Chains A and B, each alone.
Chain A
């Protein structure tokens, strides 16, 4: 594992050596610092797997149970580690199984490089066995996709792939390599990292004129409000961001992917934005006079109806991606650039400010929300367990130090509303695509990305059944993740909508589950089911100190709803705290 890769590599300084395309590929990965690969073999990628056999000491391959699991694991790995995740898959069905994860990584800006095997070049376009047009299938959901048919291209293309995936606004890359190129022996000249592509400028030069203009607008503000997204984390700008909000004393709210960039209990953290976000930040979006958006893309789950969104405010938008600026919300001043560079410049120019009364408004909202929603959710009077109290105990036990991986649905919203996170890169969730089945494999990847940290996956009974085969991966590789299934015996989020907007017509949301304890034991994983409050906290405590993976099924209220909520088609300030307000 710790061998110095350079010693095993043919470099330019040494004599040119003959290598197969597959060997050149693996050398390239090692040179890029890759240690972990998530993958699944097959006919069209066998030469690569064959070469892998000789690289056991340097490259760890995790055999997943489905290619979707491989890419979600790579995403989890990338999100917690900040490094690029790597996936191997074979051609045809192997490659198409990656598509969901690619789309997910694309929309959530996750750096992933997927290597797919492809049929021999002379068979391309003939409907050969397991041939699919991988490039055309994946183009709309990748930052870059490229087919290699000649081994000589491999070192350069892999270098490009890593450069593209990890720089600027990160994203997924697919490199499809035909079998002949994997087998081909060529003069291997060694590996050189890519530092430049003439048609690709990862980040623009920061222009001071915009910073000055923005600072002027901010300094004139009476009610400035900061909203931040994953851009802060992707830009490694957590410190810079914190210095910015602390100097201006700006109330700051996070998007689901920005969560954790500053500790959730920071005094300027006023909560989560969006459809199931907190009351204050949503309501007061329509009362601020300057809205400062940092590394976020005004997703419709955040803005609600655009024509009712922050119409009174001047908008300052900091983003690295020029295509995001003015895409959904027109900015007054746009600061195009890497926020790690732009934020300190802006911080320098803004005045210190107290914003006392304005911050108090957020506190008032928070008091109201706590009273009407948060306290009753976390301290229920009935015997039925709630998702919120599970999160409350997790916070008490972990003190906010764990990585929380969530699937998609009510439990996701509850986890993101209630989880306490002290560290950045601790909230791993499928934000943009909302992919059920994401959490279990993503948690596996997260554990590889941060082996020293506690990884807790919180998953609904529906989403768990979408990729539960990855329990096999956990069993085989003994991945120490804690899996908490919040079982409400429904596809809860859909049921909530059916209740609120479709007159309780529960159409196909009633989902039965297998016996999860038995299921886990079939996979040789310890498991327990809890449905009583008395047992909940102590069980959580036990499993979180357990040395091995654990599956905990918690039976929660069947028809609990997530509130507050900005109903579809409404403005953010039309947020409701209960069903009665609908």
Chain B
């Protein structure tokens, strides 16, 4: 059964890596719903967050293929229940309409949005949350003339991964490391081969 999966990829900061990762999806005709990439907390290591709709089997195989890439340190994949995730969106509305309708401001407050820029001609609101929250605000603002809207890719924190930061640091410091890597998923048959 297809589901939403979030794939987390730790990589070297290398030119062309987005392309190398993207090829793995395009070759299998898999659509990427959202992709975020940015430096991680460790210098030189980047973190990709990729959202796709697929079966677990496909996601596992994809993850192994991504992990095979030379510049990839680690790949994890999770269902929505296993992560805390957020997206951010910006909304531009005409200032006169908004200021006339005070109710809108209250609505925004109720939805946890805030104003980023207030100008005479337009106001930009920002909302951070999950898809429904962001979509709700679109619905709310639309009657008042939503001029422009943009949504960011997803970023996510894995609930179970208390050791993540340390692991990434470990990759950083293990130079040169022992040639072998310990299989940490010894008791998880399914997870065995996703390092």
Residues of A with Cβ closer than 8 Å to B? 135-136, 139-140, 143-144, 164, 195-205, 207, 209, 321-323, 325-327, 334, 336
Contact = CB atoms under 8 A, between A and B. Distances in A.
B179 interface: yes
Contacts of A202: 179
Instruction: Classify chain B: how many residues form its interface, as a range.
Output: 20 to 34
A197 B73 CA distance: 10
Nearest to B189: A334
A143 B65 CA distance: 11
A205 B193 contact: no
B68 interface: yes
A136 B182 CA distance: 33
Interface stretch (B89-97, B121-129, B137-145, B170-178): B170-178
B134 interface: no
21 contacts: A135-B16, A136-B19, A139-B19, A140-B27, A195-B176, A196-B176, A198-B174, A198-B175, A199-B70, A199-B171, A202-B179, A204-B180, A204-B183, A205-B180, A209-B186, A321-B68, A322-B64, A322-B195, A325-B193, A326-B60, A336-B192
A140 B19 CA distance: 10
A127 to B, nearest CB: 19
Interface of B: 11-12, 16, 19-20, 23, 27, 60-61, 64-65, 67-68, 70-73, 171-172, 174-177, 179-183, 186, 192-195
A201 B171 CA distance: 11
Contacts of B171: 198-199
B186 A201 contact: no
A140 B16 CA distance: 12
Given A198-B177, A199-B11, A201-B195, A139 B23 contact: yes
Nearest to A323: B64
B192 A201 contact: no
Given A164-B70, A199-B73, A323-B64, A336 B176 contact: no
Contact of A199 (B23, B71, B182, B192): B71
A456 B24 CA distance: 38
Contacts of A195: 176, 179
Nearest to B172: A198
Contact of A323 (B20, B61, B177): B61
A323 B193 CA distance: 8
A207 B176 contact: no
B68 A323 contact: yes
A169 B169 CA distance: 27
A306 to B, nearest CB: 13
Contacts of B12: 198-199
Contacts of B20: 139
A204 B64 CA distance: 14
Contacts of A196: 175-177, 179
A205 B181 contact: yes
Contact of B70 (A135, A200, A325, A336): A200
Nearest to A135: B16
A207 B174 contact: no
Contacts of B60: 326
A207 B70 contact: no
B156 to A, nearest CB: 21
- Lowest 3 A-B CB distances belong to which pairs? A322-B193, A196-B176, A205-B180
Nearest to A319: B193
Contacts of B72: 199
Contacts of B172: 198
A114 B163 CA distance: 40
Contacts of A200: 70
Given A199-B11, A199-B12, A199-B71, A336 B174 contact: no
Most buried by A among B20, B67, B193: B193
A201 B16 contact: no
A322 B192 CA distance: 9
Nearest to A201: B181
Contacts of A140: 23, 27
Given A135-B16, A323-B61, A327-B61, A197 B182 contact: no
Contacts of B11: 199
A197 B60 CA distance: 24
B2 to A, nearest CB: 19
B193 A336 contact: yes
A204 B194 CA distance: 12
A205 B182 contact: yes
Contacts of A321: 68
A323 to B, nearest CB: 4
Most buried by B among A200, A209, A321, A327: A200
A139 B71 CA distance: 13
A322 B67 contact: yes
Contacts of B27: 140
A418 to B, nearest CB: 36
A326 B172 CA distance: 30
A432 to B, nearest CB: 15
B12 to A, nearest CB: 5
Nearest to A322: B193
Contacts of A139: 16, 19-20, 23
Given A197-B70, A198-B73, A204 B181 contact: yes
A550 B121 CA distance: 85
B67 A136 contact: no
A196 B64 CA distance: 21
A488 B180 CA distance: 52
